[in-house]
Amino acid sequence: MSKPKVFNNWITSLVVVAVLGVAALGVYQFVIAPTLPEKQYSEVGGGEDKPFEFPSIDSSSCVACHTSEAVIAASDWGKDRPVAENTGG
Amino acid sequence: MFLVSEEFVASTHGSLGCITCHGGENAPDKAVAHTDMNPYPSRDYESTCSACHSDVTGDFDTAIHFNLNGMANGLSEYAGITSLSESPHHEEVFGNDCYKCHATCGDCHVSRPKNFSNGLVEQHTFQGTPSMENNCYACHNARNGGEFMGLVGFGSDVHFDAGMTCMDCHPVNNFHGTGEVPYDMWEVDLPSCTDCHTDKDPAVATDVEHKVHGDSLSCQVCHAQANNNCYECHLDEKADGSGLQSSSEMKIQFRVGYNPEPTEERPYKYVVLRHVPGQESMLEVVGENMMPNFDQKVNWNYSPSHNVQKSTFQNESCEACHTNTRIWLTEDDLRETDSEANKALIPALPPSLDH
C-alpha cells in the first residue's frame, strides 16, 4: 500500500498528526466527557481543608435537654452504675 | 453524666445533629425522643465514624482493642481448639461475656468505656488523643494502667512521674490496627525501652550492667517493681442474670522466671512473671470441661510491667538479685489450681558471684 502524499514531507506529517490530535481531544472534551457519570469520591476527612458534606438531622429537642444541667441532673439514667469500677483488666 | 456542652453542639460533629449518629426522634417527650435511640453508635462504626474517618477506621477490625484476639486465642488454647469458631459453645460464651470488653471509637474518643462507668469525658467533645485517666486506665486499671499511674502496687512508673502518658510510647496503630491481624498483643508492634534508651541496647551499651546481662534479662527484671497478680479467678452469674462477672484474689508480688515464649523481639532467658486470671474450673458456670488443655499452657505469663524505675531493690547491687531467693519463682509459688506447665518456668538459681 502506498503512503499518502502528505506524509512525503516531515513537516506536513507533523502538522497532520497535530491537527488530528487536537481534533480527538476536542471530541472527547465536548462530546464524550459530558455524557460520562460524575466521579464519586468517598467521604473522608472533614478537616478544615477538606469539604464536609454529611447530612445534618434536626435534633433541637435533644440539644435542648442535653445542654441543660437541670434536666440532666434530674435524670436517673445510668446512675445505677458506679462512676469508677475496677474492671480487673 | 450526659450533659453536652454548647461548644460541642457548635462543632463539626455537633452540627451533624444528635439523631444522625444516635437515632431516636426529635421530640420534646423523653420517651418518644429515646425510641430506638442508640447510646453507642460507634459500635457499628462502619455506619457512623467510617463515613468520614475511613482513613482511620479502615483497619480497626484488625486491632486487638476491637477484636480481642489475644483473649479469644488464649481461651482457644486452654480449650484445646485452634479457633473459637470450632466450638459454638465457647464462641457463644466469649461473645456474650468476654467480647463486651472490646473498645469502640467512642470508648476512647468520647466517653468512658461502658464497662468502667457511664459518662462523657468532655461533655461529648471528641478527644483526638484519648485521656489516659478516663479511657486507658478505665480498662487497664488492675494491671499495667494502674501500675503505671501508681494506683496499684507500690509506686508509679518513672515515665508517668515525668509526665508521660500511654500515647507517648504506644503508636496510634497499637489502637487502630495495621491491617495485619495479630494473634495476640505480642504480635503487635509494641514499643521497646531501647526505642528511646538506645544507649542501653546490649549490642552497643558500654556500662557493665547492660553489657554483662545482654539479652538474657528483660528490662523489667532489673527495673520493674512488684506487680499485681490475680489468683483463683472465677466467673459467676450476676445477681440480675444479665451475664457473668469475675472475681479473683489479688496479690502484689515480684517473681522472676524463665521466659515462657522467647521470640526474636523478646529473646530473654529471664523475665518478670505475672500470675494471670485463670484456672481450670474458671468457666464451670457455663459448662463442664471448658478448658481441657489448661495444663498445657502457663498461667504465670511474661509481664510487661509498667512500673519501672531506674533504681529498684533488686538492682541495688549484684547480691540484691543474685543471692535474693525471694524474687525467683519457686515450687512454693505454684498452687493446686495452677497449670502444670508453670513448672517449666521455675528457674535454676542465678549464678553464684563467688567465682
Residue pair B329/B288 in contact (Cβ under 8 Å)? The answer is: no
Q: Give the pLDDT score at B253.
A: 97
Q: Are strands B300-302 and B270-275 parallel, antiparallel or unpaired?
A: antiparallel
Domain count, chain B: 2
* pLDDT tens digits, one per residue of B309-342: 999 999 999 999 998 989 999 999 999 999 999 9
Q: What is the 8-class DSSP label of residue B98?
A: I
How far, rounded to the nearest angstrom, does the alpha carbon of residue B178 sit from its chain's CA centroid? 18
CB contacts of A67 in chain B (<8 Å) are 3-6, 9
Q: What is the DSSP string of A28-58?
A: IIIIIGGGSPPPP------STTS--------
d(C-alpha B193, C-alpha B219), whole Å: 8
Task: Supply A76's cell numbers.
Answer: 436517673
Report, as an integer, the average pLDDT of B105-110.
95
The full DSSP string for B265-283 is S---SEEEEEEPS--TTTT
Together in a domain, B44 and B138: yes
Contact between B117 and A64 using a beta-carbon 8 Å cutoff: no
pLDDT digits (tens, 9 = 90+) for A23-32: 999 998 888 8
- Domain range holding A26? 1-36
My answer on whether B173 and B205 are in the same domain is no
Q: Is residue A2 in some structural domain? A: yes
Whether residues B18 and A46 touch (CB distance < 8 A) is answered with no
Strand partners, B236: B245
Range of the domain at B77: 1-190
**pLDDT tier for residue B116 given thresholds of 50, 70 and 90:** confident
Residue of higher predicted confidence among B56 and A4: B56
Do residues B153 and B96 share a domain? yes
- Whether residues A88 and B138 touch (CB distance < 8 A) is answered with no
Lowest mean pLDDT among A31-40, B104-113, B142-151: A31-40
Q: Are B170 and B216 found together in one domain?
A: no
Quick one: average pLDDT of B296-308?
97
Q: Name the residue among A46, A55, A79 with its Cβ closest to that of B12.
A: A46
Same-domain check for residues B67 and B202:
no
Neighbours of B11 (CB within 10 A): 14
Number of H helices and E strands in chain B, helices first, is 17, 5
Instruction: Give contacts of B26 with chain A, Cβ < 8 Å.
Output: 57-62
**Residue for grid cell 498445657:** B296
Residue A51 covered by a domain: no
Calculate the alpha carbon distances from B269 to A32, B209, B259, B312 in Å: 70, 16, 5, 20
Check if the beta carbon of residue B113 is closer than 8 Å to that of residue B135: yes
Determine, yes or no, domain membership for A58.
no
For chain A, how many structural domains are there in total? 1
How far CA A16 is from CA of A9, A24, B42, in Å, comes to: 11, 12, 61
- A82 is a domain residue: no
In the prediction, which pLDDT does A13 show?
Answer: 86
In a domain, A11, yes or no: yes
CB atoms B52 and A45 under 8 Å: yes
Mean pLDDT of B161-185: 96
Above pLDDT 90, what percent of chain B?
82
Asked if B249 and B231 touch (Cβ cutoff 8 Å), the reply is yes
What are the Cα distances from residue B295, in Å, to B1, B72, B143, B220, B259?
Answer: 45, 18, 24, 27, 17
User: Do the Cβ atoms of B52 and A65 come within 8 Å?
Assistant: no
Same domain, residue pair B150 and B118: yes
Tell me what pLDDT residue A8 has: 75
Q: With respect to residue A31, please indicate whether it lies within any of the assigned structural domains.
A: yes
**pLDDT at position B86:** 96
Same-domain pairing of B179 and B211? no
Same domain? For B59 and B78 the reply is yes
Grid cell at residue B151: 494506683
Claim to verify: residue B233 and residue B182 sit in the same structural domain:
no
* Interface residues from chain B to A (CB-CB < 8 Å): 1-6, 9, 12, 15-20, 22, 24-28, 30, 33, 51-55, 101, 113, 115-119, 138-143, 145, 230, 246, 248, 277
Give residue B343's identity as a one-letter amino acid code: K
pLDDT at position A41 over 50: no
User: Which is more confident, A29 or B63?
Assistant: B63
Last residue of a domain, one of B132, B162, B190: B190
**B153-164: per-residue pLDDT in tens?**
999 999 999 999
ipTM for the assembly: 0.80
B230 and B186 in a common domain: no
pLDDT at position A2, please? 64
Quick check: B219 pLDDT over 80? Answer: yes
Task: Determine whether the interchain pair B9/A42 forms a contact, defined as Cβ–Cβ distance below 8 Å.
Answer: no
Place of cell 445542654: A67
**What mean pLDDT is predicted for residues B118-140?**
92
Length, in residues, of chain B: 355
In a domain, A14, yes or no: yes
What are the backbone dihedrals phi and psi of residue B63, each rounded to the nearest 5 degrees, phi first?
A: -80, 140
Q: Which of B145, B169, B190 is the last residue of a domain?
A: B190
Tens digits of per-residue pLDDT, B3-57?
999 999 999 899 999 999 999 999 999 999 999 999 999 999 999 999 889 999 9
User: What is the pLDDT, as a whole number, of residue B163?
Assistant: 97
Same domain flag for B252 and B116: no
Domain boundary among B126, B158, B190: B190
More confident residue, B342 or A14: B342
Residues B340 and B263 in one domain: yes
Distance CA B32, CA B25 (A): 6
The CA–CA distances, whole Å, from B194 to A72, B22, B101, B308 equal 49, 44, 31, 14
